Structure 1
Amino acid sequence: MIASTVVWLLLVLILPFSGVVTAAFSEGTASMVNALTSREATHAFTITGIVTVIVVLFNGIVGTMLAFELARGKRQTKRLSAVLHAIVDLPFSVSPVIAGLMILLIFGPSTMLGTFFGHIGVKIVFALPGMVLATIFVTFPLMVREIAPVLTAIGTTAEEAAATLGAGPVRTFWTVTWPMIRWAVGYGLVLTMARSVGEFGAVLVVSGNIMNQTQTATTLIYQHAVNNEMVAANSIAFVLGMFSACVLLVLEWMKQRKEGKKDAHRSAAVGKAIWIVSSR
């Protein structure tokens, strides 16, 4: 079974990526560098970076808050909690293309909201805001699903102890809660960043794939492939592939650190809660 798994990974992952690397360097390093430093490529990388930063910041804040609400908030009925969980998981079950189409139908130029924002000079669809909205929708569950289980697992004992001993909510969070969830937060941020960089379907629909205006790295790969410019397409794909490999290494490192220090953080949190009052 292990041998079969290795062969399968070889066929679906290693061999295709090897083909991308070979094609990227097929006409020499100079051609690859020219493809990566062209005006279209630099603009696409810039747009990808801007979208990724905005999405990571938004999901990092809102996703963490929602994870706390799902794990620690008081629900009047189980049905409400189930609805919230279903809404969070919705992007997992909806195709990114459909997500982009929904944004297009809501904020398109001929819609009521699209017309309203157009009158005040804000363009949503076929512009950066629509690309950000589409990427946020696709990546939103990643932060919540990394943090909420950790909050549920650690419980509220340490936080209640700190509150009982006189610590305020802010001090309790930074000295007790944060050390126990910081690896989960980092893990979610890295996953969000990787997913944002690689998003294609939703962004393609809402951006219009306008060259030097709304193209990201992934949609530029698509454009080069359609135009049969395979060296340029594979060069950009090679960069994104190396970025993905680095992300995997970071995630594995974070996972090992999180597993190795989980128990230590729990014990340290209780000790800090006691120290808070003893130092007052």
Structure 2
Amino acid sequence: MNWRKWLLISIVVGYMGILIIAPLGAIVFGAFREGVPAMLEALQHPHVLRSFGLTILICLVVVAIHGIFGTLVAWVLVRHQFMGKALINRLLDLPFAMSPVIVGFTLIVLFGRNGVLKPLTEAMGWQIAFALPGMIWATLFVTLPFMIRELMPVLEAFGRKQEEAAATLGASGWQTFRLVTFPALRWAFLYGLGLTCARALGEFGAVLVISGGIQGRTETATVYIFRALDDRQYAGAYSAALLLGAISLVLVLVIDVFHRRSQKSIEQRT
């Protein structure tokens, strides 16, 4: 039995090593291959700075929108019954199943040069495709489920008793949510924000298609890495990948803390 246990452990460690540790090691090796000065110089290139600035901007906008509307959607789906609720609940998981490239292509069909809605956006003076709004739209779609799916179980576990007690004491709906409901949601809320941010930082396919990958204008960090590799600018590609990976690693560690706090909160209420 002992040798079976160690065989299973070896398989798991080997599997994780091949999928995670080996690629990370390759990125670190590639970034430092030409030395630290070359890596720092590559990270200071205007295109790198612009791509990371654009990535962070998209991430902040997406997190803010999902923080508000994702909470609202979770609240409505848990607290209210209405026609079409089951369909909406199922559609929430569509971004998990749909390829991001298809998402970007769909937006091109709608808002591209010959898009169905192009006359409408032109009349309003909006540029969706090959511009920041389209990139935000695509990222909003692929990150849609994370906030909602994290908040719904906590809302279900929290129940209605404390909210009803607050209402009985004369609290308004907003006061009840702010003082009673949200404190119970805060760790799940932060966990959902962290997952949304991590997914937004790493999005590539949908953003590449809808943005067109215009150098210096609509390049996010992931799109820059793709172009730099294609142009054989290896120092820039590896350095940017290492920085993006480091940011993601920090996010993962923070998210793990939020996740454990959120799970503890659910267990205390069930």
- TM-score category (smaller protein): over 0.9
- TM-aligned CA deviation for residue 6 of structure 1: 1.5
**Alignment match of 1:169 (pick from 168, 173, 194):** 173
Residue in 2 aligned with 1:72? 79
> Contact conserved, 1:109 with 1:118, CA < 8 A, in 2?
no
Mapped to 2, the partners of 1:88 and 1:256 lie a distance apart of 24
SS of residue in 2 equivalent to 1:86: helix
Residue in 1 aligned with 2:5? none
Q: Output the amino acid matched with 2:107.
A: I
1:252 maps onto 2:256 in alignment: yes
> Contact conserved, 1:75 with 1:81, CA < 8 A, in 2?
yes
Mapped to 1, the partners of 2:187 and 2:101 lie a distance apart of 31
Residue in 2 aligned with 1:180? 184
1:14 maps onto 2:27 in alignment: no
TM-score (norm 1): 0.90
Mapped to 1, the partners of 2:264 and 2:70 lie a distance apart of 25
Mapped to 2, the partners of 1:219 and 1:176 lie a distance apart of 43
1:66-145 alignment runs, 5 A limit: 66-76=73-83, 80-145=84-149
Post-superposition Cα deviations, 1:134-168, rounded to whole Å, max 9, x if no partner, equal 00000011111010111112211111122123222
> Contact conserved, 2:157 with 2:266, CA < 8 A, in 1?
no
Residue in 2 aligned with 1:218? 222
Q: Output the amino acid matched with 1:92.
A: F
Q: Output the amino acid matched with 1:137.
A: F
Residue in 2 aligned with 1:42? 49
Cα gap change, 1:171 to 1:119, in 2 (>3 Å): closer
Mapped to 1, the partners of 2:23 and 2:267 lie a distance apart of 41
SS of residue in 2 equivalent to 1:13: helix
1:229 maps onto 2:236 in alignment: no
Residue in 1 aligned with 2:59? 52
Structure 1 stretch displaced more, 114-123 or 229-238: 114-123
Cα gap change, 1:225 to 1:133, in 2 (>3 Å): same
1:202 maps onto 2:206 in alignment: yes
- TM-aligned CA deviation for residue 32 of structure 1: 0.6
- TM-aligned CA deviation for residue 119 of structure 1: 3.6
Residue in 2 aligned with 1:273? none
SS of residue in 2 equivalent to 1:16: helix
Mapped to 2, the partners of 1:36 and 1:52 lie a distance apart of 20
Residue in 1 aligned with 2:69? 62
Mapped to 2, the partners of 1:262 and 1:94 lie a distance apart of 30
Mapped to 2, the partners of 1:2 and 1:144 lie a distance apart of 35
Percent identical: 41
Q: Output the amino acid matched with 2:115.
A: T
Post-superposition Cα deviations, 1:4-41, rounded to whole Å, max 9, x if no partner, equal 21211111101110110010010011111111110110
Gaps of 5+ in 1: 268-280
> Contact conserved, 1:109 with 1:115, CA < 8 A, in 2?
no
SS of residue in 1 equivalent to 2:117: helix
Q: Output the amino acid matched with 1:245.
A: L
